[in-house]
Structure 1
């Protein structure tokens, strides 16, 4: 048998909710919000009205309207700060960070401020607050003051005799007293709604645009930092480990050529060590070249790709058409994409020939694009999902806002195309 107590029906909870509004802290915060809003709004409206009238009266001069305009902008900014703090203190409103540049008292700065939507949205709120603030506070205070007076009506009728009108005043005052908290909170919420629409420094679209700008800058900084770190590692390996291995291979070669009276086992061990050191040196040079080739830094993309094509185990036809050098990060991405694509071609495609084309072109938006194209006559069927190599190429291209396209039907040919945006 279910003996659980059923929850109170909504209509049964309504009286408790109505009465609870009398001692709810939010009610009194809302009342203080309306009272302070009437003071700030009325004062701000009067100041703005006086400044506007002064500027209009002095139109025959240039100094008076300019001074009035500067004063209006300053007053609007000050009122915005005060109103935001008031809404935060009493209503708990949270405002997005305003990333607008500071206003300077120059014609260009003031005209720029006048052209922004934010300025007129905030100015319109102060105009509205000049009327609504006093009106809302008057309604709220009227409810809180008249209700007790109406409820005291039977006390005035004790001497002359109680009448129906005295009890009607008592009932009306009680109803007004119970409604006063909700009227107060409703008026404050309406003020908060208007403020959230007009006092916000930036719109949602502008916030997203600023966020995209910040993320783009952060991405560019990360790419630059990673490129600088690769160059540092390349210099350290080239100047340190590579030089030591070169010296070791030379010493082993000299020992192998001069020490002829060693036992056969020692000669074989020395020969193996010499060959291994040369192989390690070759691998290290390939590693250094893969990190950041010095020829790319010194002579540009054409020379670096010529070296890549010369080292390729399959014949590569290279065409580079660039009227100028592009940014270092774009050059690095282009180099690594083509180098990795040719490495994949040699290892996995079974191709006998490959062709590389690099063209610095101009698109319809008047921006320079570095267009890359790598084609091989292999078996095709390349799939980015089957390994990380092709996905890595696409990720490198996307890191500089480029586009990456792979076409590889079964039977070939395989074509890799990329477009990298460059500053003109």
Structure 2
């Protein structure tokens, strides 16, 4: 059995039961449709909104519950992965995009944008990555020129999660000529000059929509600038610790489910007249993974508590994201191997999980970038920089 989760209290487990019942009874049967069409339906975000599960942190004045406890978001993500699909990116809406509005939007902006985000009527996405930049956000080319009463935005973004169904995008754009001089802007899909490009086909996460978006002389009102112009890079850095914590939560939840699926399978599958799970190699691999999953879960749970207290450092968040995403890859690979030929078939969930897991070592910062951050935290930065 998994190690006890001592950081969770009774109310968190009650919330888990509520979420589990709802997802099992109302959404688990939708996964095949999501994967076939390449996105979840807007109705699914609205359903989460009706339950009060979007932007849990939002104040009651905006329709939220005012719950600033990441443990609830952790439980919600764990049950989403277990009962539906990793591609249901409500987590990106609430905990990757939402914090930018929470931290940097003024009261007027919150009054305009948060009620729709809380209800699910407005699906949110973040637009940072560009075709030629990847992890180097300081090198983005999308530009927002100050035109007096508005900014004129031109450029393009790619690999945008919720890009097809999204209504509101927090966009990183250059506001000056200096490297890293970036502003964050709220752009809505109904603005003239905004357009969506390709609905990108991916190796995994078939239920999650990833798209290109373009800005062709988009007039962005001055009232849609978050915080100060030129401070976007600092704002993004401020939000990355929580973003990477949420990524780690998803990775480890995915790994835990893959382990459970595999354990059930190897108890039933036979070879040479005995269950596959009884062979020494299988037992040893599964025992090792069980121990590492439990150890990593305990560390992750502690990091969640640090994030709650706003004491999680960028280095710790990077280390957490690195370890959980790498472990996720190991677990799903072992799980597929122990499924044998069945693991290569689409009808078995481990096949989907194997493909879905690969992106975890890339998005929210690649494993290599995580190592750079950790290394620099140790005082081992490149002296040439």
Name the TM-score, length of structure 2 as normaliser.
0.27
The structure carrying a bigger helix percent of its residues is 1
Q: Which has the higher contact order (CA 8 A, sep 6+)?
A: 2
Structure with max Cα Rg = 1
The structure carrying a bigger strand percent of its residues is 2
Name the TM-score, length of structure 1 as normaliser.
0.25
